[in-house]
A and B are shown apart, each in its own frame.
Chain A
């Protein structure tokens, strides 16, 4: 299972990096979204996929999944959501101001050279 997950995570990272390198602002944001999915799944996989029951104390259950990666991922999900929301609005404002989403046109002005 871990082998499959590792390959899956690799695919997610590949797609994310490919999108981040593109010229369209929206694609970059989509890319970061995929990147965070990849990272979350990576943390989960690295914690070990074993465990037959969720980490909640229950009668009879003893083989819990590792709770620590789950707590870390929970934090990471919320943070990446915050960042994604911020970037989305940033892209929206950038597009509104500059009337373009072409990253090639968004470079420092000549006076900064």
Chain B
């Protein structure tokens, strides 16, 4: 079966959603949607045996074969893991949204179309083997995310958040496209598998580091890494199912997927190891530190997501070290990354759903108004407790296992000696440990400020009560998974993690069974990770207990110096700056624009003329000056002078006529009888026209031109004049090829049967010119007629500008 088509199944289903929404008013549209991710999930489960053996499955749909672009669905351990996450959590989120969104009040047709669009896009991202189609799906996730964040489009904050996330992720997406194109140039293929195969030859290539940085920009913007995380907290304006799905479990992990997928290509570079590990760790610390500051439940979770994504990112970076060192201590990192990725998807999804439930049942997400909900919402509390404790990294929840492995990996980095790691590596476990403490604090902050303590009577908009059963199903399932994974980690490792790790580290393992990592909850008293965890708990508990005393620290950071202020400043600066620039040079006056054009023209031509040594004057090529032409030249110059100096329009028109007749005389002197004739007639008619319109024409005035503007005009005009003269001289002095005139002279009689060569050229050799010149004259005539006869002017003019 060509399973590549399954990627498009959600999009196809989305086509029918508006119909179902409009026709089947009585059934919540979500029930129809639910089938799609469920079917896909069950289908992808059937691939687990294949990937467990280290195998993979490929299905290709050719798109633009001539350019090597196709949709390739490539399922190995890594993409299968992500596909299962997408469809599995997708099903739960759809189920949750059925109870969360009201079928009468909400525009469900829109919601599910966007959601299914997103699902397709996400499946496409993780399964694509072709970088171009990967980019296509990548941008589709940005667009559908934009639509989902702006779902309640009547709210300002929603629109702002949607725009912000769009700007940042599309910026990263475009950078990533650049990286892909460079990769395509280096490897001469767009297929990721083939790129990986030829990866070692890229090292040292001119584009290698550039492609690496560009690709990481894409990954960092999508996965909300420092300093691009700022869109994620604003994206919390989306409906909660969207936050749970996109902004915790799937889309933000697309960047992680990208890093993991391209690790076999770029891990050879130290820049990669440093950037991914360093930025990841910085993000981890930053996110966990600022999560404690937030007062909105979803904002806490958003910063926590940022922080946890940083954690996974740093593990991916540490995992890349295995490409440089065979030391067994580094092997844990990649495993831990994938493990935590799964764990994070489970507990963060459930926490978001709980935040949504709290919002739904109490009417607020403000942690300052909440409290004491434990006894009223026992099920929600239990799930929130499980999720938070897992997030904090406590046993018996899955977060504990991955947090232990994380600390273990960070400790292991100290032993890495390449790339100046020996100098700085002590920072890695220290920062990781401090971040873990803050993680502990905000996890407690989140769950206990909401559910424990005293109830604040009267401060809640609604009377709180437990959520309906349907809404609780999804978070409970995720909560059970959180606990379940703690007890069967090695089964999960065998099914999902090891195949994924084997796909990321093909240099280490030829098949998943080779990975000899056994997850154990208990490492014995002598393991340093255990004591680090104990330290986290002790210090974290102390910090949480004294939270009200030191939370003031956050007030010290002035709002002006935040990254959000930087983003806002950048946006308004570019808008205002561009406005100012265009107002500066676009004056609306024709004269200004003409000056730009003429100045540019003369400068550009003169520069080229002299820098290319094209200026040559060959005195020998000139013919001698005849008496008549000299006299005629004087007449022409005088006429031109009169045109310039005349004070009345009549004098100007007559002078222009004189110039025209003098040109006609030149035509006579230079043996061009037809030209002379035409010029005489045309000049006469022109002057007649001017005189005809004379009565209606304005008097010649200079409209208060100052000496200064006249001087400017004069300089520009002189520049153009000199340019033309110099060009004419040097063009004449170096004729590179002879004229084709001889052909006309030879054949005019034999081929065309005429004697007047100019006329024969006009109507025979080059008759097309004449045809369209006639057309020009006719159009001008019709235009003149139209302008004189047609008077529509004022009608509807007032509406035009509204």
Listed in ascending order, the chain A residues whose CB lies under 8 Å from chain B are 1-27, 30, 33-34, 37-38, 40-42, 44-58, 64-68, 70-75, 77-79, 81-86, 88-93, 95-97, 100-104, 106-109, 111, 113
Asked if residues B640 and A17 are in contact (CB atoms below 8 Å), the reply is no
Q: A17-B717, A81-B682 are in contact. Are A9 and B724 (CB under 8 A)?
A: yes
Q: Which of B454-462, B556-564, B779-787 touches A? A: B779-787
Interface string of B583-599 (1 = CB under 8 A from A): 10001111100110010
B780/A86 in contact, CB under 8 A: yes
B801 engages A109 (CB within 8 Å): yes
Chain A residues with Cβ below 8 Å from B769 are 71-72, 75
Instruction: Please provide the 9 A-B residue pairs with the shortest distance between their CB atoms, ordered closest to farther.
Output: A14-B721, A10-B725, A107-B588, A82-B780, A18-B717, A17-B717, A101-B698, A67-B757, A21-B713
Q: B591, A107: Cβ atoms under 8 Å?
A: no
- Interface size counted on chain B using CB atoms at 8 A: 100
In the complex, A44 Cα to B625 Cα: how many Å?
16
Residue of A19, A38, A49, A108 with most partner-chain B CB within 10 A: A49
Query: Given A56-B757, A57-B748, are A11 and B721 neighbors across the interface (CB < 8 Å)?
Result: yes
A interface, over-half SS: helix
Choose one: A8, A50, A93, A97; the contact of B637 (CB below 8 Å).
A8
User: In the complex, A68 Cα to B640 Cα: how many Å?
Assistant: 28
Complex interface: chain B residues within 8 A of A68 (CB): 739-741, 744, 761
- In the complex, the number of residue pairs spanning A and B with C-beta atoms less than 8 Å apart equals 276
B577 interfacial by beta-carbon distance below 8 Å: no
Q: Give complex CA distance A107, B745 in Å.
A: 52
> What residues make up the interface of B, taking CB atoms closer than 8 Å to A?
583, 587-591, 594-595, 598, 619, 621-626, 629-630, 633, 636-637, 640-641, 643-644, 649, 652-653, 656, 659-660, 663, 666-667, 670-675, 678-679, 682, 685-686, 689-690, 693, 696-698, 700-705, 712-714, 716-718, 720-722, 724-725, 728-729, 731-732, 739-741, 744-745, 748-749, 755-758, 761-762, 766, 769-770, 773, 776-777, 779-781, 783-784, 787-788, 793, 801
Structural contact, B757 and A57, CB atoms closer than 8 A: yes
Contacting pair A86 B675 (CB below 8 A): no
B689, B700, B722: which contacts A10 (Cβ < 8 A)? B722
Q: A103 — which chain B residues lie within 8 A by C-beta?
A: 589-591, 703
With A10-B722, A56-B673 already in contact, the answer to whether A67 and B744 are too (CB < 8 A) is yes
Say which residue of B591, B633, B637, B679 sits within 8 Å of A23 (CB atoms).
B591
CB pair A89 B784 closer than 8 Å? yes
Q: Choose from A54, A82, A102, A113 the contact partner of B672 (Cβ within 8 Å).
A: A54
Q: Is the CB of B724 within 8 A of A85?
A: no
A85 near B784 (CB under 8 angstroms)? Answer: yes
Closest Cβ–Cβ distance, residue B195 to chain A (whole Å): 51
- Report the separation of the CA atoms of residues A90 and B689 in the bound assembly, to the nearest whole angstrom: 13
User: How far, in angstroms, from A16 to B640 measured CA to CA in the complex?
Assistant: 9
A67-B741, A102-B703 given; name 8 further pairs at CB < 8 Å.
Answer: A2-B623, A23-B705, A42-B728, A44-B672, A64-B671, A64-B757, A70-B675, A97-B793
Given contacts A26-B649, A37-B663, A75-B762, contact A21 B640 (CB under 8 A): no
Given A54-B673, A67-B758, A104-B703, is A41 in contact with B623 using a C-beta cutoff of 8 Å? no
In the bound complex, CA of A38 to CA of B723 (Å): 13
Contact status A1-B629, CB under 8 Å: yes
* Bound: A31/B626 CA distance, A: 28
Docked Cα-Cα span, A106 to B591, in Å, equals 11
> Is B693's CB under 8 angstroms from A89's CB?
yes
Q: In the complex the two chains form, is A44's CB within 8 Å of B703's CB? A: no
A residues less than 8 Å from B781 (CB atoms): 82
The verdict on A30 contacting B757 (CB below 8 Å), with A46-B732, A54-B673, A74-B675 known, is: no
Distance between B369 CB and nearest chain A CB, rounded to angstroms: 47
Name the A residues within 8 Å of B641 (CB-CB).
15
Q: What separation, in Å, do the CA atoms of A24 and B702 have in the docked complex?
A: 6
Chain B residue, CB-CB nearest to A48? B739
B643 pairs with A30, CB closer than 8 A: yes
Q: Contact between A26 and B667 (Cβ–Cβ < 8 Å)? A: no
Q: Which B residues are CB-close (under 8 A) to A12?
A: 636, 640, 721
Distance of A38 from chain B, by nearest CB (Å): 7
Cβ distance A19 to chain B, nearest Cβ, rounded Å? 7
Q: Give every chain B residue within 8 A of A82 (Cβ-Cβ).
A: 776-777, 779-781
> Within the assembled complex, what's the spacing in Å between the Cα atoms of A95 and B704?
18
* Most A-side CB within 10 Å, residue of B702, B740, B741, B777: B741
Cross-chain pairs A/B with CB under 8 angstroms, 20 sampled: A2-B729, A5-B728, A7-B725, A9-B728, A11-B640, A13-B720, A30-B643, A37-B663, A38-B724, A44-B672, A46-B732, A64-B757, A72-B769, A74-B674, A75-B770, A82-B776, A82-B779, A82-B781, A92-B697, A104-B591
Distance from B768 Cβ to chain A, minimum over Cβ atoms (Å)? 10
Which residue of chain A is the closest to B779 with respect to CB atoms?
A82
Shortest distance in angstroms between B742's beta carbon and chain A's nearest beta carbon? 10
Task: Please give, as numbers and ranges, the residues of chain B lying within 8 Å of A3 by CB-CB distance.
Answer: 619, 622, 729
Nearest CB in chain B: distance from A43 CB, A: 10
Which of B629, B656, B712 contacts A4, CB < 8 Å? B629
Whether A55 pairs with B740 at a CB distance below 8 angstroms is: no
The complex places the Cα of A64 from the Cα of B757 at a distance, in Å, of 10
Inter-chain CA distance A9–B731, complex, in Å, is 14
Distance between B422 CB and nearest chain A CB, rounded to angstroms: 62
A65 touches B670 (CB 8 A): yes
- Residues of A contacting B588 in the complex (Cβ-Cβ under 8 angstroms): 107-108
Complex: A7 Cα to B726 Cα, angstroms? 9
B686 pairs with A73, CB closer than 8 A: no
Give the shortest distance, in Å, between A72 (CB) and chain B (any CB): 8
Separation of A101 and B793 alpha carbons in the complex (Å): 18
Q: Identify the interface centre among A12, A42, A68: most chain B CB within 10 Å of its CB.
A: A68
A71/B724 in contact, CB under 8 A = no
Query: B682 touches which one: A6, A38, A78 (CB < 8 A)?
Result: A78
Contact status B591-A15, CB under 8 Å: no
State whether B666 touches A44 (Cβ < 8 A).
yes
Chain B residues whose CB sits within 8 angstroms of the CB of A9 once the complex forms: 724-725, 728
Cβ B717 vs Cβ A21 within 8 A: yes
Question: Which A residues are CB-close (under 8 A) to B744?
Answer: 67-68
Q: Name the distance in Å between B460's Cβ and chain A's nearest Cβ.
A: 50
Contact status A86-B633, CB under 8 Å: no
With contacts A65-B671, A70-B672, A101-B698 taken as known, whether A34 is within 8 angstroms of B693 at the C-beta atoms is no
Contact B713 A22 (CB under 8 A): yes
Q: Across the interface, name the chain B residue whose C-beta is closest to A95.
A: B698
Residues of chain A contacted by B587 (CB below 8 angstroms): 107
Contacting pair B633 A8 (CB below 8 A): yes
